[in-house]
Amino acid sequence: MSDLVSVALGERSYDIHIGSGVLQNSGKLIASLVNGSGTALPIVTDENVAKLHYKTLADSLTGFGFSPMPIVLPPGEKTKSFSHLQNLLERLLALEIERGGIIVAFGGGVIGDLAGFAAGILKRGVAYAQIPTTLLAQVDSSVGGKTAIDTKHGKNLVGVFHQPRIVIADISVLKTLPARERLSGYAEIAKYGLLGDAEFFHWLEDHAQQALAGDEAAITRSVVHSCKMKASIVVRDEREAGERALLNLGHTFAHALEAALGYSDSISHGEAVALGCVLAFELSAKLGHCTAEDAARVERHFAALGFKTRRSQIDGPRPSADELLGHIRHDKKTQGGRMTFVLTKGIGKAFVARDVEENVVKGLLSKD
């Protein structure tokens, strides 16, 4: 049994296949897109994913006549670099990938972003399949076609929009995901409810514990609903001219926190997003856009799941308000010198604000 979510983008349309065990159908699903029998099929992955799940994927692909060629990279954000991109492109070229071929990105958001970017620029663009193996990648990074690497100037600053031809999200591979990674991915799920669907957030208030404890029905529903929401936003605004920016709820603060803490282990992206959502609701309440009760409800939800919802709970030296503001000013979403925030009129009612006064933000960040 698998669920299907379609991303309707005209000739760039594709389906997201979600379910427990869909990885075993990868051969059949990819064979329906390209005639690959006999040709080399590059599988870009990382060491952790390769060890745990490569065999399942490879068996399914060989069953449909493909010759999978693993390209195994080191795990971690550092792999999203110019040097790994160059190395990957050379290895793909050595496999003599044709323009009609397809590349498989098999891993978390790091692998998806890097392999997707490589596919986007190799021979001016070849097809790729996303097989996301982290919760974050299943609900967020594998859908929507944003690809990128990091540079010394910041994260995700060099990349292209390049939509995958298919996304295959197997819920069962999440069983091997470390608990902290699962929690981190969950923040993006809650984000969808908070930005545009109060009913979904309400459902999460009752079912998130279950989903995080490994209940397949609860995880599947969370992933399917998140993908539907992301797909519908991407379809309306593929290149982030407007509405897609709502997906950045909590992210202006999150990126500032991550940067101020040097992208260290003391906070993961999802942990920063949860804290960022709490701050976005607090700022909205402070500006009179939403009630203090809504802001408190968001904080209660994240705290109950074990997220840090106050900066004072983060290990290590606490970044100052000025330091955080410095990073916010440099955020790539800053336009015409004005800071851009996603604010909210209540749970499920996010909007983009470009008129927030810096001193109000500073006041908020000066608290704990």
* Nearest C-alpha neighbor of 115 from the set 180, 123, 107: 107
CB of 193 to ligand NAD, least distance (A): 17
Q: Figure out which of the listed residues 15, 31, 70, 75 binds ligand NAD, where binding follows CB under 6 A.
A: 75
Q: Figure out which of the listed residues 61, 88, 113, 225 binds ligand NAD, where binding follows CB under 6 A.
A: 113
Contact call for residues 143 and 231 (beta carbons, < 8 A): yes
Could you report how far apart the first and last alpha carbons of the chain are, in Å? 47
* Nearest C-alpha neighbor of 298 from the set 306, 309, 289, 287: 309
Does 181 bind ligand NAD (CB under 6 A)? Our answer is yes
Buried b (16+ CB within 10 A) or exposed e, 230-246: bbebbbeebebeebbbb
CB of 52 to ligand NAD, least distance (A): 5
Total binding residues toward ligand NAD, as defined by CB under 6 A: 28
Let me know if 286 is a catalytic residue: no
Let me know if 124 is a catalytic residue: yes
3-state secondary structure of 15: strand
Does 134 bind ligand NAD (CB under 6 A)? Our answer is yes
The tokens of 170 are what?
Answer: 């197997």
Q: Out of 191, 244, 308, 327, which one is annotated catalytic?
A: 244
Does 243 bind ligand NAD (CB under 6 A)? Our answer is no
Q: Out of 53, 165, 269, 327, which one is annotated catalytic?
A: 269
* Interface map 31-50 toward ligand NAD (x if CB under 6 A): ---------------x-xx-
d(CA 58, CA 42): 11
Task: Tell me the C-alpha to C-alpha distance, in Å, between residue 363 and each of 4, 330, 338.
Answer: 45, 19, 17
Does 130 bind ligand NAD (CB under 6 A)? Our answer is no
Let me know if 188 is a catalytic residue: yes
Does 176 bind ligand NAD (CB under 6 A)? Our answer is yes
Q: Out of 230, 301, 308, 327, which one is annotated catalytic?
A: 230
Q: What is the DSSP letter of 215?
A: -
Let me know if 255 is a catalytic residue: yes
Contact call for residues 361 and 325 (beta carbons, < 8 A): yes
* Nearest C-alpha neighbor of 91 from the set 143, 151, 33, 43: 43
Does 298 bind ligand NAD (CB under 6 A)? Our answer is no
* Catalytic center residues: 124, 146, 188, 230, 240, 244, 248, 251, 255, 269
> Which residues lie near ligand NAD (CB under 6 A)?
46, 48-49, 52, 75-77, 80, 107-111, 113, 133-134, 136-137, 140-141, 144, 146, 155-156, 173, 176-177, 181
